[in-house]
Amino acid sequence: MNYQKYMRQALTLATLAAARGEVPVGALLVWQDKVVAASANATEASADCLAHAEMLVLQKAQRSLNRRWLEDTTLFVTMEPCPMCAGAIVLCRVGQVVFGCPDSRWGACGSVFNVPENRQSNFRPRVIGGILEDECRTVLQDFFQSLRRS
């Protein structure tokens, strides 16, 4: 699987989110080398704190594939998932998570917390971080710097 190809698609979604005033995080879910769901953060537009890119993608993918378990899929996300999203990833049994840059404040796939590796869980997705890390970090940094200048 071409991790960089899919992460670039997630980066495009993140950039579009930034243009809408959303924190620029993009995510997509791949099954059998096809994107079955894609989204970006929508917390501002929807006034919904739960509308993280990962959560939206998981919901869309479950509807699209007509099943709740996603063990044969890969989730690509530009920033390390937070505890809420990491919990949903485990509950949906996503087989693999690939993220761009770590989140030093809320990262829950190894940076601050490590939800996928919790020994109490009966399912542990494979986690790979650092794919196009610099590009993913730059999109976020540019967004927050533009907010501070405003």
Residues identified as active-site:
54
The string of DSSP letters for 114-149 reads BGGG-TT-S---EEE--TTHHHHHHHHHHHHHHHHH
Alpha helices in the chain (DSSP H): 3-19, 43-46, 53-65, 83-92, 133-149
Residue from 98, 52, 90 nearest 71 by CA: 90
